[in-house]
Structure formats: C-alpha cells, structure tokens
Amino acid sequence: MSDLFKVLEKIRKSPEMYLGRPSVSDLFMFLMGYEFARSEQGIELTDAEESFWEEFQPWLQNKLGIASVTSWAKLIMLSCHDEKAGFELFFRLLDEFNQRNQATVSADQSDLVRI
C-alpha cells in the first residue's frame, strides 16, 4: 500500500479516477477509508502521516480562526462553498502545512548540529 502523500499526489493529478470528481468532501471520505484499510492491514503510519492525521485539522482551525467543526473538509467548505474549489484549496493548504513542517524539521536539525 502506498504512502498517504503518494496517494494524495495521484488524486491531485487525476481526481476523477479516484473520487469520480474533484470534491473536498469526497476526498475526505476516501482518506477516511484509506486510513481504515491501512489500520485493518496493520500498516503503521509514517511520522509525516501521523503529523497529518493529528495536526492538520488543528492547524487549519487555527489558520482559519474557527474553533470547532467536525472535519477539515467542512472547515474548507466554510471558506469556499464549492466542492471543486474546496478540493483545490485543500491541496494549497496541504502544501503550506507540509512546508511548515519541513521548516520545523530543518530548524530542529540545525539545533542538533550546534549541540
């Protein structure tokens, strides 16, 4: 089974093939099924995947200034009200989230070099 981010890149390039249409709500449901299938198979999450599942929604809530909602897909839909626009926004936000994480990792590694 592929890494979560490899699957997301495939979906980004060809949403119709995986979801039927570019839809943030359909993407959310697909990823919930993907996570369930991996757990049923006993496949452990990578650190990056764990970060996504645990930190993406709280990061998004903070970024958008919205305290509570049931899912990151609903948070995104509050911002755009269109499934296709939400799908595109998800990937822009995911890129920003991952860049934030990479900057944190780089800073942590430079701290280790100084020690």
CA 77 and chain centroid, separation: 15
The structural domain count of the chain equals: 1
Tell me, yes or no, if the pTM score tops 0.75.
yes
In which domain, by residue range, is 46 found?
4-114
- 3-class state of residue 21 by DSSP: coil
Q: Give the start-end residues of each E strand in 46-94.
A: none
Q: Give the start-end residues of each E strand in 10-90.
A: none
When comparing pLDDT for 84 and 2, which is higher? Answer: 84
Could you give the CA distance from residue 75 to residue 68 in angstroms, rounded to a whole number?
9
Local confidence band at 68 (pLDDT 50, 70, 90 cut-offs): confident
| Listed residue (51, 72, 49) closest to 62, CA to CA | 72
Could you give the CA distance from residue 81 to residue 51 in angstroms, rounded to a whole number?
27
Give the mean pLDDT of 31-51: 90
